[in-house]
Each structure stands twice: as structure tokens, then as C-alpha cells.
């Protein structure tokens, strides 16, 4: 029998079902496109080269795990909502993996048990579908380990679903998928944010069967600078590859090769076209985080970078040559060396005419003795007749005021924040900032200062914002308390 005849006979044994199964096993992307039609029969599939990139990237990691090759990094994917991210990562991905490697084990989690359970059920629906069972009859769910939140294959593969904060004692996985770990309306709750960080560090971080080989995937839209993405990239930047897909093309796209796949400057022109995005932009913070993958709107949120004019010290001297300048000090204190908490901030500012000039901003983590010593040495560098040291009157500030009163001749004033929230206090000075009546004198502090104030209130820290707000309140809105001299 010649070669052509042998090939023809071999091809006769390949049915359309076997061919489709082979195509799907060899490509998660091809599997996903077909699975989408099974799960969403009444929804038109919208394809994208970026969907292919994500599928291919996840597939490469699975093939690596299958041969026991060590990973380079875990993966963070930031992508807008309603663009099939959960369908890809939480529903179809485990089902595709089992089509090739039915022994692999998954832990999946979302911010709420209802969501994580739904995603697990959708995955089970796909596995039990006629289409899947026809293509992959070797994948069977174990009858004695098959419920809403967890199920196993007869090959000892498993999927265990939980919520953020939930317990998974005794469970291990080859792949962990964290899909939307934070609820959007809880993004500004410090307690909720800390809960997510604690859960990651104390529950998820050590749940891989083989930490050097297994994979952790976080897929989410950005909510704040301190959301799980921000926390992990800040604390463990060397451990994660960051895939960032904003709705509109900009320099934040990662990896840069994905920029070529944007069409008319858009990631998804069908579901997130220009007209739809214009509607979403009416809520700038939500749009910036969830759609542009940036914790604050471009150019700034409550405070915009463009509202602050920056001048040299020489220009300042020329502008105030014929006027009295009295520098004041505004302190937002925190006695801790823990860099996870806000540092202490000192703003040096003066009001000349209708302008508040900021001479310098210092920010650092201090323990109490170190901060006390620092202030004693720092204030005299800028103090002028009439200077006053303003300190927020919380517990830490009161101790500092008492010690400074006993050991220095500084004129001191205790600042009372009242019952207003930080956001409300800041909002009260936005008109002054927007009218460009706060001018910065050049210095190393300028860029970090602008970065923090422009991201407020979604930033990790707000110490400089608090001190700036106090400065504006005292120097402008409470001008009667402005002129006080040193003894």
C-alpha cells in the first residue's frame, strides 16, 4: 500500500467530532469560541485579538504546569467589565484544562459566595453539556463529589469555589483563579480593603500544591490604588506579570504589543464603542477605574494636576518682594514605622494676598521619638516671625503638641477635623484649588505630591492631601487665625 492510500485510510477514521475535539484540545482560544455558543446561545459572539492573546497566555501556562516547568511569575489581568473576562477565566478555562489534563486541581474565588457559586455552576453546565460530553467523553464528574460549589473529576481533578474571606482549609490547587475579589461599592472601605489583603496573604498565598510550578491568576477591573492589584504590584512587583487592558488606547496598555490590536483607539468597539464610553464617562471615577484601569480619572479626580501652578523659588521671591511672607507648618501625624499605613506629612505653606504658596512637603514613617526630634530640627529651617505649627488633634497629635509645648517655644495650634469625613473636608477647598490659588514652589516633593492629590480619594495614602486641606482651611477660610508670631 502506497503512502497516499495509507493517509487516505487514516483520514477516513477521523470523524468531524474527533477533528473538532482535536482542534479544541490544541487551542483554548478555539475551545472558548465554541463554548461561548453553548453557554450563550442567544448572544452574538464578539471576537478580539486581545481575547486570543489572553487565551493563548493561559494555555501556555497550563502546558508549562503539565510538564512541571517552573513559572516565572503569576498573572494579574485588568480588563473592563462585560467583556467576557469571567467567561474566559472562571468558566471556560477549567473546563478546557480538564479536556487535556483532567487531573488538575483548581481553587476559584470571587468577592461574594453567590458570584463564585454562579461561575462554578456555569462551568459545570458547560462540562455536562451535550457538546462537551460528545467531544471529551473521558471527562466525567465524580458522582460522590459533585455539588454547587465544588466538584471533582473521576481522574481526581477538582474545582473548589469560595468567596474572598472564605476558608479553604486543607485544600490545594495547581491553578488558583481570583475573579473580581472586591465589590465596587466597598472599594473605599479601609476595613474591606484590608480584609482582602489579609485573605490573600494568609489564605490564598500558600494554597498552591507546588508554589514554584502552580499558577495564581487575578482577573479584575481596577477600583482603587489599594485594591488587590495595587496591593500586589506594590508589595510583590517581581512576582506578577501585569496584563492591563484599558477600554481606550493609552500608554497604560500592557504588554505594549497589545496596542496594535486596538481598533479606532478602542479595545472593544462593539460592546464599548465611543457612544457607550461617553455615557460611562459621566461617572469619572468609575470610568477611570473599571474601564481605564486607573484608580483616578486622567489628569486627576477631585483635584486635577493642572490646577496647581509650579514656579521656581526665584519667581516666588519676585512675586512677593514687597509683601510679608509668613511660613506656617501643617502636620498630619502617624506614629508608626509600618509602611502599609499612612506616613506623617508636613506641609510648609504661606498665604500672600489671595494665593497659598506651598514651599515644601515632607512625608515619612516616624515613630514618636523620631518625629518629635525631626520637627524640632525641621521647623526652624523655614520659621519666620508669625509662624505657627498646626497639628491635627487626634490622639497622636495631642501627644506631640504636649511634648512640643514643653520643650520648644513654637506657637502651636491644635487642628480639629470635626465630624466631616476627609472627602468632605477636601471637597470644601476644591474651589480654591480649581481657581489656581494654590501654587507650588519647585522641589523634589512636587511630583509625589501631585500624584497623591490627583488620585484622592482612591489612593493608597492621603497624608499629604490632609495636610494640604488643613493649610488651605487655616490660611484662607479661617484667615482670622492667620497672623500669630513667635515669642
Tens-digit pLDDT profile for residues 172-181: 999 999 999 9
C-alpha cell at 360: 515644601
Higher pLDDT, 336 or 327: 327
User: According to the model, what pLDDT value does residue 481 have?
Assistant: 41
For the chain, what's the residue count?
487
User: According to the model, what pLDDT value does residue 395 have?
Assistant: 64
User: According to the model, what pLDDT value does residue 470 have?
Assistant: 95
Residues 345-363, mean pLDDT to the nearest whole number = 95
Rounded CA-CA distance 286/289 in Å is: 5
C-alpha cell at 399: 501627644
| 212: number of Cβ within 10 Å | 9
User: According to the model, what pLDDT value does residue 485 have?
Assistant: 39
- H or E element, residue 160: strand 158-163
C-alpha cell at 324: 510679608
Q: What are phi and psi of 387, to 5 degrees?
A: -70, 150
Rounded CA-CA distance 7/10 in Å is: 5
Q: What is the DSSP letter of 136?
A: -
254-309 pLDDT, tens digit each: 999 999 999 999 999 999 999 999 999 988 888 989 999 987 766 567 898 899 99
Rounded CA-CA distance 371/258 in Å is: 47
Enumerate residues 6+ apart whose C-beta is below 8 A from 433: 303, 307, 308, 472
User: According to the model, what pLDDT value does residue 183 have?
Assistant: 92
Angle (deg, nearest 10), helices 93-100 and 16-26: 110
pTM for the structure as a whole:
0.73
Enumerate residues 6+ apart whose C-beta is below 8 A from 416: 393
**Cis ω before 453 (30° cut-off from 0):** no
Query: Domains along the chain?
Result: 14-291 (3.40.50), 305-481 (3.30.420.280)
Is pLDDT at 110 greater than 80 in this prediction? yes
| 427: number of Cβ within 10 Å | 14
Residues 383-401, mean pLDDT to the nearest whole number = 87
C-alpha cell at 327: 511660613
Rg of the chain's alpha carbons, rounded to an integer? 29
Is pLDDT at 355 greater than 60 in this prediction? yes
Rounded CA-CA distance 257/278 in Å is: 26
User: According to the model, what pLDDT value does residue 337 have?
Assistant: 55
Reading phi first (left if > 0) and then psi (alpha if -120 to 50, else beta), residue 174 is in alpha
Higher pLDDT, 367 or 258: 258
User: According to the model, what pLDDT value does residue 487 have?
Assistant: 37
152 and 141 Cβ atoms separated by less than 8 Å: yes
Q: Count H helices, E strands: the chain?
A: 19, 15
430 and 302 Cβ atoms separated by less than 8 Å: yes
458-482 pLDDT, tens digit each: 778 889 999 999 999 999 977 644 3
Is pLDDT at 486 greater than 60 in this prediction? no
Q: What is the DSSP letter of 474?
A: I
User: According to the model, what pLDDT value does residue 77 have?
Assistant: 98
C-alpha cell at 88: 474566559
Q: Is 330 helix (H, G, I), strand (E, B) or coil?
A: strand
User: According to the model, what pLDDT value does residue 297 have?
Assistant: 67
User: According to the model, what pLDDT value does residue 399 have?
Assistant: 87
Is pLDDT at 341 greater than 70 in this prediction? no
Question: Please, is 16 exposed, middle or buried when counting C-beta atoms within 10 Å of its C-beta (0-12, 13-18, 19+)?
Answer: exposed
Q: β-pairing, 328-332 with 309-311?
A: unpaired
246 and 252 Cβ atoms separated by less than 8 Å: yes
**Per-residue confidence band for 5, with pLDDT thresholds at 50, 70 and 90:** low
99 and 31 Cβ atoms separated by less than 8 Å: yes
Q: What is the DSSP letter of 307?
A: G
Nearest to 217 by CA among 234, 200, 196: 200
30-44 pLDDT, tens digit each: 999 999 999 999 999
Amino acid at each position: 500500500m502506497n503512502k497516499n492510500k495509507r493517509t487516505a485510510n487514516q483520514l477516513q477514521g477521523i470523524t468531524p467530532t474527533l477533528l473538532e475535539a482535536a482542534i479544541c484540545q490544541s487551542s483554548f482560544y478555539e475551545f472558548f469560541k465554541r463554548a461561548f455558543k453553548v453557554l450563550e446561545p442567544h448572544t452574538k459572539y464578539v471576537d478580539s485579538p486581545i481575547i486570543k492573546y489572553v487565551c493563548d497566555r493561559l494555555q501556555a501556562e497550563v502546558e508549562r504546569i503539565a510538564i512541571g516547568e517552573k513559572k516565572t511569575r503569576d498573572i494579574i489581568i485588568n480588563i473592563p467589565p462585560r467583556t467576557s473576562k469571567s467567561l474566559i477565566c472562571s468558566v471556560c478555562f477549567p473546563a478546557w484544562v480538564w479536556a487535556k489534563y483532567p487531573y488538575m486541581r483548581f481553587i476559584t474565588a470571587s468577592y461574594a459566595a453567590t458570584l463564585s457559586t454562579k461561575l462554578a455552576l456555569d462551568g459545570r453546565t458547560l462540562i455536562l453539556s451535550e457538546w462537551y460530553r460528545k467531544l471529551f467523553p473521558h471527562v466525567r464528574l465524580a458522582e460522590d463529589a459533585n455539588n454547587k460549589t465544588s466538584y471533582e473529576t473521576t481522574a481526581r481533578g477538582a474545582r473548589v469555589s469560595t468567596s474572598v474571606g472564605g476558608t479553604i482549609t486543607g485544600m490545594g490547587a495547581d491553578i488558583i483563579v481570583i475573579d473580581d475579589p472586591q465589590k465596587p461599592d466597598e472599594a473605599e472601605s479601609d476595613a474591606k480593603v484590608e480584609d482582602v489583603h489579609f485573605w490573600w496573604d494568609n489564605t490564598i498565598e500558600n494554597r498552591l500544591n507546588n508554589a514554584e510550578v502552580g499558577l495564581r491568576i487575578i482577573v479584575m477591573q481596577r477600583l482603587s490604588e489599594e485594591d488587590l492589584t495595587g496591593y500586589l504590584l506594590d508589595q510583590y512587583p517581581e512576582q506578577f506579570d501585569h496584563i492591563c487592558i484599558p477600554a481606550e488606547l493609552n500608554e497604560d496598555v500592557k504588554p505594549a504589543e497589545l496596542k496594535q490590536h486596538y481598533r479606532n483607539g478602542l479595545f472593544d468597539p462593539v460592546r464599548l464603542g465611543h457612544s457607550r464610553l461617553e455615557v460611562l464617562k459621566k461617572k469619572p471615577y468609575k470610568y477611570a477605574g473599571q474601564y481605564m484601569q486607573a484608580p483616578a480619572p486622567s489628569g486627576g479626580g477631585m483635584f486635577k494636576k493642572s490646577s496647581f501652578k509650579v514656579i521656581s523659588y526665584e519667581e516666588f521671591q519676585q512675586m512677593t518682594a514687597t509683601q510679608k511672607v509668613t511660613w506656617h507648618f501643617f502636620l498630619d501625624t502617624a506614629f508608626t514605622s509600618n509602611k502599609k499605613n499612612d506616613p506623617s506629612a508636613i506641609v510648609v505653606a504661606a498665604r500672600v494676598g489671595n494665593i497659598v504658596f506651598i514651599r515644601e512637603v515632607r512625608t515619612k514613617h516616624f515613630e514618636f521619638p523620631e518625629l518629635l526630634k525631626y520637627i524640632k530640627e525641621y521647623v526652624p529651617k523655614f520659621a519666620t516671625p508669625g509662624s505657627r505649627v498646626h497639628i491635627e488633634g487626634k490622639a497622636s497629635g495631642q501627644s506631640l503638641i504636649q511634648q512640643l509645648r514643653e520643650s520648644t517655644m513654637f506657637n502651636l495650634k491644635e487642628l480639629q477635623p470635626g465630624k466631616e469625613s476627609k472627602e468632605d473636608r477636601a471637597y470644601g477647598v476644591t474651589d480654591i484649588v480649581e481657581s489656581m490659588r494654590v501654587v507650588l514652589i519647585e522641589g523634589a516633593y512636587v511630583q509625589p505630591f501631585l500624584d497623591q492629590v490627583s488620585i484622592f480619594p482612591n489612593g493608597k495614602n492621603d497624608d499629604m492631601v490632609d495636610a494640604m486641606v488643613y493649610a488651605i482651611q487655616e490660611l484662607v477660610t479661617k484667615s482670622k487665625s492667620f497672623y500669630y508670631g513667635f515669642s
